[in-house]
Amino acid sequence: MVIIPLERLLIRLRQPKTRADELAALRVRLRAERQAEPSAEERAAALEVRRLKRALADATGAVTSCSECGKGMPPPGGAFAGGHCCSGRTEDLFNGDEVAMLAQCGTRPADLVAPRTEHAGCAFRAPTHCTLTVEDRPALCARYACNDLRRELFDLGRLDGLEALEAQLDDAYRRFSKLRASRLDDELLNCSRSI
Ligand code: SF4
């Protein structure tokens, strides 16, 4: 019980207030999801999404589009030269399904390590990279490719393979969302019956 306020204090000492607040809130949500008891089917869908995140990252490989897309853009997107698509809000990027999938695949609060640089969008956006492993990021991060990146991947001959993996990830994500929604409905129903 003492751990969480202490952890929040440590984050607050090391981070700008906006990032510290977002990190603390995300860790609370992740801890709560780690208490859930999903079915084997739901967990299998989460693991499939995790596998496909890694497959998509490997299929994307080295690219140049992501290192200069922020140039000349207004903040927070333009705060750094690259990673413009990482300038959204942490809470939106890590939606309920995403946090639940991470929890079911073993991501721990301690894995959510953030940079100590300027906070410019997602809490994990550093000037030149994301500080999370591919597996600890939301599926959206693996799934999203802007038009510039798609053009580059097409030129590199990688786009078709990537799109096939995207379709598989979408399927697994939808399956997970449906199973989780159904579990949450059941839990709510059981809870209201017991009142
Ligand atoms: S988790 Fe990483 S890849 Fe995803 S939006 Fe945040 S900084 Fe970008």
CA of 192 to the centre of ligand 1 (A): 37
Q: Residue 191's pLDDT is what?
A: 83
Report how many domains make up the chain.
1
Q: Residue 193's pLDDT is what?
A: 82
Bridge partner list, 125: 130
> Between 40-60 and 159-193, two packed helices, what is the crossing angle to 10 degrees?
160
CA of 191 to the centre of ligand 1 (A): 35
Please, are residues 73 and 58 in contact by the beta-carbon 8 Å criterion? no
pTM, to two decimals = 0.92
Task: Provide the residue range defining the domain that includes 67.
Answer: 3-193
Residue with tokens 């709510």: 188
Residue with tokens 């603390």: 24
Q: Residue 68's pLDDT is what?
A: 92
Cβ of 176 less than 6 Å from ligand 1: no
**Average model confidence (pLDDT) for the chain?**
95
Low-confidence ranges of the chain (pLDDT < 70): 1-4
